[in-house]
């Protein structure tokens, strides 16, 4: 089956602009999580959506937002971009239920954002 | 902030040698997972060990978990050049679906 697909793979923006990243999860996966990866802070959890509802949220400012659609596809948006938002943004999907008893994540290849 | 620390930060070995890396975490966990990342790409799940397990094997991988010390180790036996990657431990918290707390990672280089 197809993996987790993230678009775009690379993008360059300038300070003050906004950006929208897209994630298509594995078919049947209802949970989508977003992570930010930077050399300085490592992998940090942004938020998780399940059945179109935000279920968990990390410690990021309100400029970072997301949503999930009825087909489980998810988008995240960053407004008023800052230089420090330059990072690899990773999306991951999972079943998101207790059936498997564990939250094993399948990651996409990431969207690399550069803010100039 | 990072949930855990990994040790060492970097490891350089030759093909055929074993690679061992350690991870410590801070809070109570439901499970502990290990992921691999090749050169800035997405992470790939390697193995999961539940909080009531002490050791688990998968192919050339062996994971141990010591909940009393809040630590885990990953052993890769008979390393290959293709094992060159960054390895991350991730704490799975109870009822925190999709939210894993990752360690800083260990960068492993396997030289042919």
Distance from CA of B39 to the nearest CA of A (A): 11
Tens of pLDDT, residue by residue, chain B (112 residues): 345 678 899 999 999 999 999 999 988 888 999 999 998 789 999 999 999 999 999 999 999 999 999 999 999 999 999 999 999 999 988 767 778 899 999 999 999 9
Angle at B86 between CA B82 and CA B88, to 5 degrees: 125
Residues A94, B98: C-beta atoms closer than 8 Å: yes
pLDDT at B1: 37
**3-class DSSP state of A80:** coil
Distance between CA atoms of residues A34 and A61, nearest Å: 14
Q: What are phi and psi of A53, to 5 degrees?
A: -120, 135
| Contact criterion met (CB below 8 Å) for B54 and B65 | yes
Four-residue CA torsion sign, B56, B57, B58, B63 = positive
Taking a contact as any Cβ pair under 8 Å apart, which residues of chain A between 46 and 65 contact chain B?
Answer: 48-50, 55-56, 58
Percent of chain A surpassing pLDDT 70:
95
Residues B2, A105: C-beta atoms closer than 8 Å: no
Q: Which residue of A has its CA nearest to B106?
A: A42
Residues B97, A97: C-beta atoms closer than 8 Å: yes
């Amino acid at each position: 089956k197809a993996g987790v697909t993230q678009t775009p793979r690379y993008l360059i923006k300038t300070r003050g602009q906004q950006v929208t990243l897209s994630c298509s999860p594995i078919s049947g996966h209802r949970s989508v999580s977003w992570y930010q990866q930077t050399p300085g802070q490592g992998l940090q959890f942004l938020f998780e959506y399940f059945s179109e509802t935000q279920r968990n949220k990390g410690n990021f400012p309100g400029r970072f937002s997301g949503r999930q659609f009825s087909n489980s596809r998810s988008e995240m948006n960053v407004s008023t971009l800052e230089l420090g938002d330059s990072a690899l943004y990773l999306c991951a999907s999972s079943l998101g239920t207790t059936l498997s008893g564990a939250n094993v994540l399948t990651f996409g290849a990431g969207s690399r954002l550069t803010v100039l | 902030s990072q949930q855990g620390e990994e040790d060492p930060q970097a490891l350089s070995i030759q093909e055929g040698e074993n690679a061992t890396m350690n991870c410590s975490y801070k809070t109570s966990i439901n499970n502990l997972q290990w992921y691999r990342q090749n050169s800035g790409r997405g992470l790939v799940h390697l193995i999961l060990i539940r909080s009531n397990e002490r050791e688990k094997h998968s192919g050339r991988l062996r994971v141990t978990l010591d909940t009393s010390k809040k630590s885990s180790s990953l052993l890769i036996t008979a390393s290959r050049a293709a094992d060159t990657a960054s390895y991350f431990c991730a704490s799975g918290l109870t009822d925190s679906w999709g939210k894993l707390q990752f360690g800083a990672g260990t960068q492993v280089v396997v030289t042919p």
